[in-house]
Structure 1
Amino acid sequence: ALLKVTLLGVLLALLGERILNFCHRARFFKEVEPVDLPGCQLLKGIETGSEDIEILPNGLAFISSGLKSPNIKSFAPDKPGEILLLDLNDDGLTPAPLSISNGFDASSFNPHGISSYIDEEDGTVYLFVVNHPQLQSVIEIFRFVEEERSLVHLKSVKHELLHSVNDVLAVGPESFYATTDYYFSNDFMKAVEPFLGLMWTGVVYYSPGDVREVATGLYSGNGITISNDKQYIYASDVLGHTVNVFKKNKDWSLSSVKSVEGRYLVETCGDPVHRDIGWG
């Protein structure tokens, strides 16, 4: 009986320590100080929420909206997700949904992170979207037709290394880097994983015929972007509170340069105009 009580006490202590550790990493005890930013205004028409934004050099912005996740309250559970287009040059600032053609199943569209790639030769704009149909992970590649305000679906990318993708960084018409936010694919283990404190997620590189993990050691990979000179990759670790800087090598592998600590949970975004890296 004493042994059972001792074992139970040890298990409860271990469980309590894991829960407390997770609460600290999730910053449950941190109070976020409000910041009053001049010039900010609420965009109407995104009542279902937005996950990511990608701004083109000409001032057009793509916004992914309507993400559904077991861990996130959905404000429109029966409405498919969509990609909105916002013209930052227009004083009205009214986002409007883009139509999607070429046989794409829009009814199961569940967009997460997004990234654009502009072909330097012909100016074609490609939009890469992390899609979670039936809570799976697929990278959808579209071509943007500005005159028609539409997306033409080109390709869907699935791979066992891309089983839990959070964000994507396009580096070619068919190639990209992607962050993973969970190591396990099993639903039960995904629920337990944050409490285990494992640093097993990272960054995956994909191109036709070449798929590999190029960085690891993150609690939960999140946003990813690239420097203006295309030499450095920035990937955030939301539960590690860090922005991790990598050197992009000629073979597309990544070499760790440094890790920058943040005060709160860290995601990333990029400014294509001023080429600054902003942390959210």
Structure 2
Amino acid sequence: MLRSVVSIVLLGFFLHYAMKYRDWADFSRKIIPKVRPGQCQFARKEGGTEDLTYIGDGIFLASGGFEWEGDVGKILSINVSGDKSVMTPLAIRDAPNIDGFMVRNHGISAWRDPESGTLYLYVLTHPKPVTSSTDRVEVFEVVQKGLHLRYIRTIVDPSFTFMNDLVAVGRDQFYITRYNWFRSTWWIRFAHWFHIREGAILFYDGQHVVRAVPDSYFLSNGINASPDRKTIYMAEWGTKTVHALKREENNQLTTTWTEYVDSGVDNIEVDQETGDLWIGSHPVTHRIVDIFGWFGKLPAAQVLRIKIRDGVMTSLEEIYADDGDELMASTVAAYGAGKLVIGSVFKQTVVCDVNYLTE
């Protein structure tokens, strides 16, 4: 009798999990119609640009080299003001001779000193486990409107286990998202399968790291800030939601609103003029987590625009979508100078004309 009860309970638990996972993985989503804001062209066909940001004057900076087996990452620049948009790697001056420097570049964030006008770039990197058990944040000065970078310092902390993205809110001050506790590939897969909530938002004040929000998230991903730096936006990839959090005087964060968008939101970029959010996203979850190649489909791509008015989300728009033929696994989208630049994990970078945007 007891064995039968236990068997029924276990079967019920398994069926409940299977149905929940089926819905989360988007198995019913078969076709992604193509959506374009205008004519698009390739700026890079191999290597990927996992994160990018617009720094003005038609110039975007991007992180390249997010390959788990790769050795050297790159910071790339693209100027969309010309007739042909091409990504070029930036030289790094005063680079330190340390093991694991600029390996597996991931999230990036630019911050301009309001007094000096100096532009700083913060780059999250993943050194190999044999050289370090924690991630690093490399700090650079952007020289001559992105012609090259000057190395300043490396920031490390024991709490930087497996981080995803960061947003600078001051000189050597930033919020940073923890994706998982460990960088182990098998643990990451386990967390995906069983929806383990070990993501977090941390704050670095220039010397110390503190937890900015007591909540734990399911795969906390991209993070960014409103133009006045009073609101922090975070993409929770695992729950397909965008969080808006009020920044308190002590740099703690309080959730003001959360919006489910039915897509695997990745990196967030913020329009510095309007405050709108531009998000690279993964509309079909099982394609992006298809680590065994069981489903035989290319990871799809999507760009979402969230309009923000008076600190509140007023609408959600799909600006770009592709079934994986032109762009696979879109991680980031940034808008500037009338152009939309879309990056991906390992492959293409696309630049699109934006012919029309709703107000």
* TM-score interval, normalised by the smaller of the two chains: 0.7 to 0.9
2:91 aligned to which of 95, 99, 105: 99
> More deviation in 55-64 or 122-131?
55-64
CA distance in 2, matches of 1:78, 1:94: 22
Which is strand-richer, 1 or 2? Answer: 2
Which is helix-richer, 1 or 2? Answer: 1
Structure 1 vs Structure 2: percent identity of aligned residues?
25
SS in 2 for 1:193: helix
Q: Relative to structure 1, is the Cα distance of residues 159 and 30 closer, same or farther in structure 2, using a 3 angstrom cutoff?
A: farther
1:88 aligned to which of 66, 72, 80: 80
Residue pair 1:238, 1:266 contacting (<8 A) in 2 also? yes
CA distance in 2, matches of 1:236, 1:250: 23
Q: Relative to structure 1, is the Cα distance of residues 26 and 177 closer, same or farther in structure 2, using a 3 angstrom cutoff?
A: farther
Residue pair 2:77, 2:146 contacting (<8 A) in 1 also? no
| CA-to-aligned-CA distance 1:190-226 (integer Å, 9 cap, x gap) | 3322223232312110022331111233101111111
Partner of 2:180: 182
Q: How does 1:210-249 map to 2 (within 5 A)?
A: 210-215=208-213, 216-249=215-248
Q: How does 1:127-166 map to 2 (within 5 A)?
A: 127-134=121-128, 136-146=134-144, 149-166=147-164
Q: Relative to structure 1, is the Cα distance of residues 279 and 148 closer, same or farther in structure 2, using a 3 angstrom cutoff?
A: closer
| CA-to-aligned-CA distance 1:132-151 (integer Å, 9 cap, x gap) | 12154211111111267111
* Displacement of 1:18: 4.4
CA distance in 1, matches of 2:34, 2:271: 20
Partner of 1:74: none
Q: Aligned letter for 1:103?
A: A
Residue pair 1:26, 1:239 contacting (<8 A) in 2 also? no
Q: Aligned letter for 2:272?
A: P
The TM-score with structure 1 as length reference comes to: 0.85
The TM-score with structure 2 as length reference comes to: 0.68
CA distance in 2, matches of 1:18, 1:157: 40
Q: Does 1:275 align with 2:272?
A: no
Partner of 1:208: 206
| CA-to-aligned-CA distance 1:216-239 (integer Å, 9 cap, x gap) | 331011111111232111101001
Residue pair 1:247, 1:254 contacting (<8 A) in 2 also? yes
Unaligned runs of 5+ in 1: 70-76
> More deviation in 125-134 or 5-14?
5-14
Residue pair 2:94, 2:151 contacting (<8 A) in 1 also? yes
* Displacement of 1:251: 1.2
Equivalent pairs counted in the alignment come to: 272
Q: Relative to structure 1, is the Cα distance of residues 17 and 158 closer, same or farther in structure 2, using a 3 angstrom cutoff?
A: farther
> More deviation in 55-64 or 233-242?
55-64
Q: Relative to structure 1, is the Cα distance of residues 156 and 15 closer, same or farther in structure 2, using a 3 angstrom cutoff?
A: farther
* Displacement of 1:19: 5.7
Partner of 2:33: 34
Residue pair 2:103, 2:128 contacting (<8 A) in 1 also? no
CA distance in 1, matches of 2:196, 2:230: 29
Q: Relative to structure 1, is the Cα distance of residues 233 and 40 closer, same or farther in structure 2, using a 3 angstrom cutoff?
A: farther
> More deviation in 155-164 or 37-46?
37-46
Partner of 2:111: 117
SS in 2 for 1:112: strand
| CA-to-aligned-CA distance 1:44-73 (integer Å, 9 cap, x gap) | 33511111110013321101112113xxxx
Partner of 1:73: none
Residue pair 1:245, 1:257 contacting (<8 A) in 2 also? yes
